[in-house]
Structure 1
Amino acid sequence: MALQPHIQLSQEMTSARYALLPGDPQRVDRIVNFLDNPEPLGQNREFRAARGWYRGVEILVLSTGIGGPSTAIAIEELRQIGVTTLIRIGSCGALQDNLALGDVIIAYAAVMDDGTSRTYAPAGYPACADPHLTWELMAQVRQMNIPAVCGLVRSHDSFYTDREAELDAEWSARGVLGADMESAALMTIGTLRGLRTASLLNVVVAHNGCLDSSINDYVQQETLCQQGEERQITLALRAIYSDSQQGGQ
């Protein structure tokens, strides 16, 4: 099979059925440190790819860049090379005061407040993660005893609109845990294409802080955020292995 046009991968390069999807290309390099026999597969635009093995299970790691459009491209092209299970390894801003930097959110569904999801499906279409994957992730959380919570998130398209504070307050009042830019697209396209999806979000911005000060906090409290990232990676890998032993993929 020819290379996919954007991610520049083919079935000849990897037979992985599981993929981890960070947004940041640099996070690919950190994720593969958790894998055996890591192998870089190249980069085109925002799509950096590598593969490795976790307890004998081949895992593809591909960055998606920022936002729904590039995430959608990655999902569609990964499907073409045989990937069937995709877990986002992302970050988010908290929308609840009880969430701390480094906490992990397991998103079981996402508000479709982005353009990509609503291009694929009408606004009333539910953007939901795969229930079995979500259950498996929660089972691993209990075994690992890590700070994690399962709930709703909101996916949107911009950090810097004039209404960000107002929108955050509205969705916080509705019980939404955090905000990112990719989960809704991942879940919507996954359901439409018959793929299994899940989204793990590391809290890197606390609730009720201004954006500039929160970004400074992110730098100053880098250790907390790094610990959260390591937890979400380990959580995803453990869930993938358990799923594979139950006949997943």
Structure 2
Amino acid sequence: MSIHLAAQPGEIAPHVLMPGDPLRAQWIAETFLEDARQYNTVRNMFGYTGTYQGVPVSVQGSGMGQPSMSIYATELLKDYGVKTIIRVGTCGAISHQVKLRDVIIANTASTDSAINRLQFHGIDFAPGADFNLMRYAADNAESRGLNAKVGGLFSSDLFYNGRPELAMQLADYGVLAIEMETSVLYTLALKYGAQALTVATVSDHILTEEATSAQERQQTFSAMVELALETVKQNAEAQPSH
């Protein structure tokens, strides 16, 4: 057990999907995993372990924002030996390169958070995604006919940001969308020698002011979860057996 996760040793799989919403974690486990069993209810941040086509997979809620993500990702990586984490979430587009309901496979994540500056004594550490996970996800997205784009995200500490000019400047430098968790996830995965990737669906578009309905989000989210699970499966099968 760790401070925020009540799982016993061996109850969490080496491969974990992390949505922000714990109820979404429950939905993923009940919808996509076989023999799913709950291992965590601490603070109602639900976690489940089951199998996907024979591959052990856990689903763990992360909460919103980088401080919350850092708590759960650290404990998964440090205390439970997790080797792969794929964040599955939503994002707000700031680029005309992507459209509503597109999937973004994040190769990197800029941030306004001070977390890495505190860790690296003022250095702007630039965390990136695991290349193999990113490659598998891009190939799987193409084979499934998903509108997917590989590019950068901006992990903001503010959900309600009163500086629209900042989003425009980021877009000028190729950033595709805004979310709140990826930068610290990628940093922690690198610290613990693990693999991490964010796969995010564009749920709203800041430039066009378009937004998806609740039903559309669930349908698109299903496609994204299947993409993440197929990526986990392919990556797990490519690992050398011991």
Output the TM-score relative to the length of structure 2. Answer: 0.92
The answer for the alignment partner of 2:40 in structure 1 is 42
Q: What one-letter code is carried by the residue in structure 1 that aligns with 2:162?
A: D
Q: What one-letter code is carried by the residue in structure 1 that aligns with 2:109?
A: A
| Shift in Å, 1:162 | 2.5
Q: 1:68 to 1:46 in 2, by over 3 A?
A: farther
The answer for the alignment partner of 1:160 in structure 2 is 160
| Shift in Å, 1:90 | 1.2
Map of 1:141-156 to 2, 5 A cutoff?
A: 141-156=141-156
SS at match of 1:124: coil
The answer for the alignment partner of 2:125 in structure 1 is 125
Q: In the alignment, which of 216, 227, 247 is matched to residue 239 of structure 2?
A: 247
Deviations 1:148-194 (A, max 9, x none): 1110111110122332x121111111110011110000001111121
- Deviating 4+ runs (over 4 angstroms): none
Mapped contact 1:108–1:134 kept (Cα < 8 A): yes
The answer for the alignment partner of 1:102 in structure 2 is 101
| Shift in Å, 1:41 | 1.9
Mapped contact 1:68–1:117 kept (Cα < 8 A): no
Mapped contact 2:11–2:49 kept (Cα < 8 A): no
Please say which of residues 181-190 and 121-130 is displaced more in the overlay.
121-130
The answer for the alignment partner of 1:54 in structure 2 is 52
Deviations 1:13-35 (A, max 9, x none): 33x10000100111112211111
Aligned equivalents of 1:22, 1:248: Cα separation in 2: 28
Gaps of 5+ in 2: none
The total of aligned residue pairs comes to 238
Pair 1:23 & 2:20 matched: yes
Pair 1:84 & 2:76 matched: no
Aligned equivalents of 1:12, 1:58: Cα separation in 2: 11
Map of 1:86-235 to 2, 5 A cutoff?
A: 86-121=85-120, 122-163=122-163, 165-209=164-208, 217-218=211-212, 221-235=213-227
SS at match of 1:29: helix
| Shift in Å, 1:4 | 0.7
Gaps of 5+ in 1: none
The answer for the alignment partner of 2:7 in structure 1 is 9
Deviations 1:175-216 (A, max 9, x none): 100111100000011111211100011111113256xxx6xx
| Shift in Å, 1:96 | 1.1
Q: What one-letter code is carried by the residue in structure 2 that aligns with 1:18?
A: H
Q: What one-letter code is carried by the residue in structure 1 that aligns with 2:82?
A: V
Aligned equivalents of 1:118, 1:124: Cα separation in 2: 6
Map of 1:63-78 to 2, 5 A cutoff?
A: 63-78=61-76
| Shift in Å, 1:248 | 6.3
| Shift in Å, 1:12 | 4.0
CA RMSD of aligned residues (A): 1.8
Q: What one-letter code is carried by the residue in structure 2 that aligns with 1:28?
A: A
Mapped contact 2:117–2:124 kept (Cα < 8 A): no
